[in-house]
Structure 1
């Protein structure tokens, strides 16, 4: 049964990590339904996130290699400074408030709140129709990168969604919906790797060789499904509005509120 749970959780992680629907929220809610909880389960969730990270690294490998060109002059295109500026706000607060967030915000009820409020933000970003100043990744300015990073602070609350917060922030600062999504994917990699490393160090006592097959299956499932989800999502961003995902979030919150509360 644990292996079945691992596959299910891996699929959920891969499908939702880079969609603006909150992968953390989905994992918490799915774990509650499967009764797959406790310290071992939380460590498992950290491990399978690395599968989603690897999916982005493979798909955007050429873009990541270009980031190694440390040319920070204006008009040089997306570079490492853009990523650093976008990471700074949420990264700093995440380190300072890591214990508080893990203790008080990782629960089904707080996720429901995040799903709803995050959905409202996405609708605002969609309806605002801010004139696009950055059509592609290489058009994003340092100021836009930092402001998008400020919006990413919201994702520290489980249920808000990292991609939902940053895509909304990108659109509100004049970045196209597609470029905002791709920027979100790239920025998420170093943040997720850092956060996963911190969590794994803190959870090392719950890691055992006996759990290696379980964790490996979950990671592989998240990697394969994550690659499919990222490619599909980027194509969807050319055709659908961000608010559609907000309506899904409202429906999901209502469904799980009924399951949890009643």
Structure 2
């Protein structure tokens, strides 16, 4: 195992960790680093590269579990000292999360093969980056002046389901799960922070399930040679995702979505330049 390969793994984990939960499309960023680093260095072949992407995504998911640990315990009914008001009053329940997950889970199951065959390309990601940026700008410009739903505990089942419909847009690689769902939540009258909290909570089960299935499918690439590479990427993604999530949640109500939309358009330009230079 060369030190250079471990350095590459750390850099790729950094990119995944910083971009997975921000509305900037981790897929778009990973295509760029994949084109510039993984393919150019031929690190362990296609199957190992696929496993590596799953492993670093798992690192990001674990960071989300840490940030929302108490919330997940509450959702599963495992948190101690829950008051009667919290138990029966206004709070986010597991059924809200399931309601939000259903639309994307159903469409993802039905169209998985089509998505893999037709939507995972630089061209389609480039378009998704721009279209997603437009949605985010529209959401910010047309949002209610005063949010009807200030916190994630005030989300209704109707809001959860409609946000889940917006999450279906993220099946288009490059659209960004958080970009689509936060935009949808804001359009429904949720505060940016409430929409972001719900987005991140929903992301854990759906991302974990997809990652687990992909890892099982490509398990043959896990060898003594590649394990240090995978572990380094996992740790890097976990650490930087932890930093990025906390920073983003503290920032989102202040900066809103437009700055991220502008960044996405700039990223699309970078991808376009990559296409032209091939």
Give the shorter-chain TM-score range: over 0.9
**Aligned counterpart, 1:22:** 25
Picking from 139, 142, 148, the partner of 1:125 is: 139
Cα deviation, residue 100, structure 1: 1.9
**Structure 2: 5+ residue stretches without partners:** 79-83
**Aligned counterpart, 1:177:** 192
For each residue in 1:27-50, what CA deviation from the matched residue of structure 2 results, as whole angstroms up to 9, or x when unmatched?
Answer: 122101114372221221011100
Summarize the alignment of residues 91-240 of structure 1 with structure 2, pairs less than 5 Å apart. Answer: 91-130=105-144, 131-240=146-255
Cα deviation, residue 74, structure 1: 7.9
Q: 2:48–2:226: 8 Å Cα contact kept in structure 1?
A: no
Cα deviation, residue 178, structure 1: 0.8
Inter-CA distance 182–236: structure 2 relative to 1 (3 Å threshold): same
Q: Does 1:42 align with 2:45?
A: no
What's the TM-score, normalizing by structure 2? Answer: 0.90
Aligned residue pairs total 262
Q: 2:8–2:37: 8 Å Cα contact kept in structure 1?
A: yes
**Structure 1: 5+ residue stretches without partners:** none
Give the secondary structure class of the aligned counterpart of 2:240.
helix
How far, CA to CA, are the matches of 1:73 and 1:148 in structure 2?
A: 24
**Aligned counterpart, 2:62:** 54
**Aligned counterpart, 1:33:** 36
Give the secondary structure class of the aligned counterpart of 1:135.
coil
Q: 1:69–1:79: 8 Å Cα contact kept in structure 2?
A: no
How far, CA to CA, are the matches of 1:145 and 1:24 in structure 2?
A: 25
How far, CA to CA, are the matches of 1:249 and 1:94 in structure 2?
A: 24
